[in-house]
Amino acid sequence: MYHVWIPNSSEELKKDMLRYIGRSFDELIEDIPRELILRRDLEVGFGRPLSEYELIRIYRSYMDKNRKPKIPPFMGGGLCPTYIPQVVRYLASRGEFYTAYTPYQPEINQGILQALFEYQSMMAELYSIDVVNASMYDGSTAVAEAFRLAMRVTRRKAILAPEIMNPFYRRVAETWIEPVGGKIIYYRVDRGGQPDLEDLEDKADRETAAIYLENPTYLGNIVEKPEELKNIAGKTGSLYIVFSEPTSLAIFKPPGEYGADIIVGEGASLGLGLNYGGTTLGILGVRRDQSLIRQLPGKLVGMTTDLKGSERGFTLILQTREQHIRRERATSNITTNAALMAVQAAIYISYLGMSGLRRLAETIARKTRYAIDHIYRRREYMNLAIGARYFYREVPIRFRGDYGTIYRRLVDQGIYPGIRLDPLLKGFSNCGLFCFSDVHSRDDIDLLFESIDKVI
């Protein structure tokens, strides 16, 4: 029986379709080289169509093979577990947002445009910057785009970045700027996780497009005098790029207040959650400077009024994508981007409010400090990998024994500790990067360190 919702896969139906159009199947694929055509059935599936119930049974059998952690994972590295209120999930899944895609016809997409305008406004206030786009794929592509932006504006090729830069962002950024002649030069960081200003001054020159800082750093420590990097950038006419974890800005000074020309961030902590590496949201903004704004990739949503001034409306005021009039002169080829994630982040911040966001950041800071107190009590076999005074959310721990062995033993017990740092950063052998967030109770943290006591 034919049905428009059932795939046209039966041999009888295929013959009817070919008979109707008056062609053979070989004629339909004659453009494909003969040597590339497979002359047998694919060895996939179960050899027959399966019922819905059979599929559910098979799916559940696969899911049962997953290891189920006893408590939320402590794996750091830029993306950490966080609680997502159900109202955020519900609102973000409404059809008005979920299927709105990119507003190609802004005059009939007022709702999604207003939501993105609100996102831009919230991020600009949080980072204390003038203009934020809507939006980027994730933190790594936001960083890479920021580097390219700085290179275009200054017409220089070198970016100075800390040697403990997020290694995942480093790889993406190197991949993006190398084809256009760019290079990243890494400046030293002292044992306390603070930039080595003398080394930075030696390396900064008239070929430097920008100085890049992560604050909090990839290792979770706070850079205490970030304005000093701005002073060095100013001496060479370079731009100052600062990456910040957005929730931290509810209690720490935002980068716009200490001179950032370009801000970047990863918005996964703003109610997006974790799911096989996602979902992510790249945050990218600039101070009010036309040379920076015109080179900003992606799109900007603006608010205006009608001719009578009685009704407000929203429109795309900057579209530097290649599908629009910029064509080959586009600053970026970013397309679908993460508009839905931007809307979900705006819903999350709206639900918490600024006071709620501050309480969240204070909670994370207290959990981080509570974990550090545990480390101090176990100095005979673990200590902080860097001697910083302040940490937020992520903490690097160095172990006296082999951390690979400790890691595997903890996983066998259903506890997922910090990611191993030795494959990612030089000089951090037997170190793990642990994350402590709002989903970790004090009992969870106690259980982590009690379990380490037993397996070390």
- Identify the structural domains of the chain with CATH numbers, from first to last: 11-60 (no CATH), 86-348 (3.40.640.10), 354-455 (3.90.1150.10)
Average pLDDT estimate for 253-262: 97
Q: Left (φ > 0), alpha (ψ -120 to 50) or beta: where does 45 sit? A: left
Q: 284 with 132: CB under 8 angstroms?
A: yes
User: Residue 370: what pLDDT?
Assistant: 98
pTM of the predicted model as reported, rounded to 2 decimal places: 0.88
Please tell me whether residue 245 adopts helix, strand or coil conformation.
coil
Spatial distance between the Cα atoms of 230 and 258, rounded to a whole number of angstroms: 7
Spatial distance between the Cα atoms of 84 and 28, rounded to a whole number of angstroms: 49
User: Residue 154: what pLDDT?
Assistant: 97
DSSP for residue 237: T
- In this structure, of 138-152, 228-242, 297-311, 388-402, the range with the lowest mean pLDDT score is 297-311
**What's the distance, CA 426 to chain centroid?**
23
pLDDT tens for residues 173-208?
999 999 999 999 999 999 999 999 999 999 999 999
**Torsion (CA) 96, 97, 102, 104 in degrees, nearest 10:** 20
Spatial distance between the Cα atoms of 423 and 434, rounded to a whole number of angstroms: 15
Q: 431 with 421: CB under 8 angstroms?
A: yes
Spatial distance between the Cα atoms of 66 and 64, rounded to a whole number of angstroms: 5
Sequence-distant (≥ 6) Cβ neighbours of residue 178 within 8 angstroms: none
Alpha helices in 321-387 (DSSP H): 339-376
pLDDT tens for residues 11-45?
788 888 899 999 998 899 899 998 998 887 777 77
Please tell me whether residue 384 adopts helix, strand or coil conformation.
strand
H/E stretch holding 159: strand 158-162
Q: 217 with 164: CB under 8 angstroms?
A: yes
Q: Is 241 exposed, middle or buried (0-12, 13-18, 19+ CB in 10 A)?
A: buried
The overall average pLDDT reported for the chain is 91
Q: Is 29 exposed, middle or buried (0-12, 13-18, 19+ CB in 10 A)?
A: exposed
pLDDT tens for residues 291-310?
999 899 888 899 998 888 88
Question: Would the CA dihedral through 78, 174, 137, 119 be positive or negative?
Answer: positive
User: Residue 183: what pLDDT?
Assistant: 97
Assign 104 a pLDDT band (cuts: 50, 70, 90): low
Question: Residues 353, 355, 358, CA angle at the centre, nearest 5°?
Answer: 110
Q: 79 with 274: CB under 8 angstroms?
A: yes
Q: What letter represents residue 427's amino acid? A: G
User: Residue 47: what pLDDT?
Assistant: 73
Q: How many CB atoms lie within 10 A of CB 406?
A: 21
Of all residues in the chain, what percent carry a pLDDT higher than 90? 73
- In this structure, of 106-115, 224-233, 295-304, the range with the lowest mean pLDDT score is 106-115
Spatial distance between the Cα atoms of 73 and 419, rounded to a whole number of angstroms: 10
Spatial distance between the Cα atoms of 274 and 81, rounded to a whole number of angstroms: 6
Assign 66 a pLDDT band (cuts: 50, 70, 90): confident
Ranges 5-14, 292-301, 402-411, most confident: 402-411
Average pLDDT estimate for 421-439: 96
Average pLDDT estimate for 95-116: 78
Sequence-distant (≥ 6) Cβ neighbours of residue 173 within 8 angstroms: 140, 143, 144, 147, 159, 161, 184
Bridge partners, residue 186, by sequence: 161
Distances in whole angstroms, Cα of residue 430 to Cα of each of 78, 193, 194, 409: 19, 18, 22, 14
348 is written with which tokens? 């999350």
Spatial distance between the Cα atoms of 338 and 165, rounded to a whole number of angstroms: 24
Judged against a pLDDT cut of 70, whether residue 232 lies above it is answered with yes
**Torsion (CA) 242, 246, 251, 255 in degrees, nearest 10:** 20
Average pLDDT estimate for 143-154: 97
Residue with tokens 């040697």: 163
User: Residue 204: what pLDDT?
Assistant: 97
Spatial distance between the Cα atoms of 372 and 374, rounded to a whole number of angstroms: 5
Average pLDDT estimate for 66-89: 93
- Which among 381, 423, 412, 432 is positioned nearest to 68, based on CA atoms? 412
Question: Residues 184, 189, 195, CA angle at the centre, nearest 5°?
Answer: 85
Q: How many CB atoms lie within 10 A of CB 286?
A: 27
Q: 117 with 312: CB under 8 angstroms?
A: no
Ranges 42-46, 118-122, 339-343, most confident: 118-122
Which residue did the predictor score with more confidence, 343 or 329? 343
Which residue did the predictor score with more confidence, 103 or 448? 448
Ranges 24-28, 133-137, 167-171, most confident: 167-171
Query: How many helical (H) and strand (E) elements, i.e. helices and strands, does the chain have?
Result: 14, 13
105 is written with which tokens? 């016809």
Assign 1 a pLDDT band (cuts: 50, 70, 90): very low
